[in-house]
Amino acid sequence: MIRFDNVSKYFGGTKPALSGVSVEIPDGDFVFLIGPTGAGKSTLLKLIIRDLVPSEGNITVDNWDIGTIPQSQIHLLRRHVRMVFQDFKLLFDRTIFENIAVGMEVLGKPKDEIDKGVRDVLELVELSDKADVFPAQISAGELQRISIARAIVGGPKILLADEPTGNLDPETSDDILDILKEVNRMGTTVIVVTHNATLVDKNKKRTITIKEGKITHDEIKGKYRLTKRSHHEEKH
């Protein structure tokens, strides 16, 4: 369970990045997080993974209180909460297999467990034949699949995806979303930040809209609803 209770986040200045946000995301949910650029979507994700702490209010992620979690416990939280980025953040001097394995190596997992974990997630993202190639040798869509594989190896409870289809064509975007839905079907809570209206409208998942740091819509089978006024707001 992820729970935000009246959460605000300030970065200096008078206008908060998030203002009085209260929301609950149960275990196993799939959520689209939408809104104009600068609305606070990425701030919300960074609070969940404890890259940021709230200025006001409380956030709990499972048994962790994000505001008070000690520095020594953050790595434990991040075993349970993983992030997929738009720009992949892969190590280009390592093979695909090595990129995925590194997280499990840091945890001191035995070699046979690492091998099985990497093979399993490569199969899930349908790139079993790419284990020994380097990131520079594959397409952007394949790189995004690898970044998802790296995030889910070892079985996190929560997966956050920040614009995972932002640089991809429509067909590849559909493929990436199919993988995220499969990860969700396996029991992982998935939160996807996106500007891709087609993906949101087609998949009819819970959709939370943020504008100017506040939640304006939270719908069970949502649609991408940003009005013309939103575009005006986005420019100011």
Q: What fold does the segment set 30-40+78-235 form as a domain? A: Rossmann fold (3.40.50)
Residues 80 and 128: their CA atoms lie apart, in Å, by 25
Residues 208 and 45: their CA atoms lie apart, in Å, by 13
Q: Nearest-CA neighbor of 100 among 80, 81, 114, 83?
A: 114
Q: What contacts 24+ positions apart, CB below 8 Å, involve 100-107? A: 100/146, 100/149, 100/150, 100/153, 101/153, 102/150, 103/150, 103/153, 103/154, 104/153, 104/154, 107/79, 107/154
Looking at residue 4, its amino acid is F
| Range of weakest confidence among 42-56, 183-197, 211-225 | 211-225
**Residues 194, 165 contacting (CB under 8 angstroms):** yes
Token reading at 124: 């899930």
| Range of weakest confidence among 53-62, 85-94, 119-128, 135-144 | 85-94
Give the pLDDT band (50/70/90) at residue 25. very high
Token reading at 176: 């990436």
Domain ranges within the chain, ordered by starting residue: 30-40+78-235
Q: What is the mean pLDDT of the chain?
A: 90
> Mean pLDDT across the stretch 103-111?
85
Q: Nearest-CA neighbor of 125 among 153, 99, 160, 103?
A: 153
Give the pLDDT band (50/70/90) at residue 154. confident
